[in-house]
Amino acid sequence: MENNQKLTQFTQNTVEVVIRLGFLFLLIAWCLGILLPFSGVIVWAVILAIASAPLYDFLNKRLGNKPKRAATVYIIIGLSIIMLPSWLFLESLISGVHELKTNLDNGTLAVPPPNESVAEWPLIGDELYASWKQASENLESIVLKYQEQVTTVAASVLQGAVSMGGSVFQFILATIISGVLLATQGTDEFSRKFFRKLVGERGHDFADMSIKTVRNVTKGVLGVAVIQAFLIGLGFLLAGIPYAGIWALLVLILAILQLPALVVVLPVIVYLFSIYGPIPASLWTLYLLVAGASDNFLKPMLLGKGAPVPMIVIFLGVVGGFLLSGFIGLFTGAIVLSIGFKLFVAWLNTEDKPLEEAVRPVPED
């Protein structure tokens, strides 16, 4: 009789636990489903808040420890940094893609004829001049032959440009949210409590490791890429390069992927020498080469000692983030995967060692 009562009580307790857990998981899944459309914005806002905390603290001290006022100034600065270059390059990007698609649809796309001085270039001059001249004379027939495929590609690029405009809005919203997070007291302590619940007594060390990784990748990878793309894109705009916004966007993607921006810069230099005289073309070449190689001295300045993670982690994070979240994933993917990599390495190597010793900086190539 007593055993039957215990069995009945155990069954009732089990059913109650299952029902409670079911409702709990349902609530969690529901909340995650609600937040899923905003996941990229929220993640980027948290990243911005962590990376910009030193700037916010500086502003807060200068303004007499007034968090709301400091957050307002921080948001205004952030929006200015985002909106001004975005407006310049988006305008060039969208107008360039629209013009390209219109010319393709109307069959009026033309390649400007090369300057005769191109034929005098050493080694490649004769062949380049002949190929360029042929394209300028017979491009219409080539375009008509592949018009459907080229129009499809152009439409896809135009759609990508519009999508990028939506991503700029996401960056603006994330900047505002990050300012609110920085001004909210207890945000830092909340994150540390979360890590303590997640990994136990070492939660504080893991939180510090995550913060350090976010700041290193933000400054040493994303910051360098944005500065480099801005410098090169500004040069393209001022030099009158067609579709400057498209090339600047390509430079940004290459820089985030840790690939050399000279892949885009060198063909532009060839174009400059074909339309300008030797002196202005040489001056623009000097500027673009310096801007293209700027990551070589920007990274040591912003990154400090050692690379935050191996390049392959950054590469996979950028590509995977883009496939998962679109343009904003170019930024969030690299950072999220870097955090996961650092915490995973720390978990593998941490036994009796301090966390700082468990995760060694990876030397730069």
The CB density around residue 258, as the number of other CB atoms within 10 Å, is: 19
Closest CA to 73 of 85, 61, 84: 61
pLDDT value of residue 234: 85
Q: How far is CA 237 from CA 17, 107, 242, 270, 274, in A?
A: 64, 26, 8, 16, 17
Give me 174's structure tokens.
């994330």
Backbone angles phi, psi at 362, to 5 degrees: -85, 120
Alpha-carbon distance of 348 to 113, in angstroms, equals: 61
pLDDT value of residue 116: 63
Give me 67's structure tokens.
């968090």
The CB density around residue 45, as the number of other CB atoms within 10 Å, is: 22
- pLDDT tens profile 310-319: 778 878 888 8
Residue ranges of the chain with per-residue pLDDT less than 70: 1-7, 10, 85-86, 88-125, 127-128, 131-166, 186-189, 198-203, 302-308, 350-365
Beta strands in the chain, from DSSP E residues, in sequence order: none
Alpha-carbon distance of 92 to 244, in angstroms, equals: 6
**Residue 362, strand partner residues:** 307
pLDDT value of residue 258: 77
Alpha-carbon distance of 322 to 40, in angstroms, equals: 11
Q: Tally DSSP H helices, then E strands, for the chain.
A: 16, 0
pLDDT value of residue 105: 64
35-42: long-range pairs with CB below 8 Å, 24+: 39/325, 40/170, 40/325, 40/326, 40/328, 40/329, 40/332, 41/170, 41/173, 41/174, 41/177, 41/328, 42/174, 42/177
Rg (CA), the chain: 27
pLDDT value of residue 310: 77
pLDDT value of residue 364: 44
Closest CA to 316 of 343, 335, 339, 334: 334
**Residue 307, strand partner residues:** 362
What DSSP letter does each residue of 46-96 carry, written as one string? HHHHHHTHHHHHHHHHHTTS-HHHHHHHHHHHHHHHHHHHHHHHHHHHHHH
Closest CA to 268 of 286, 296, 247, 246: 247
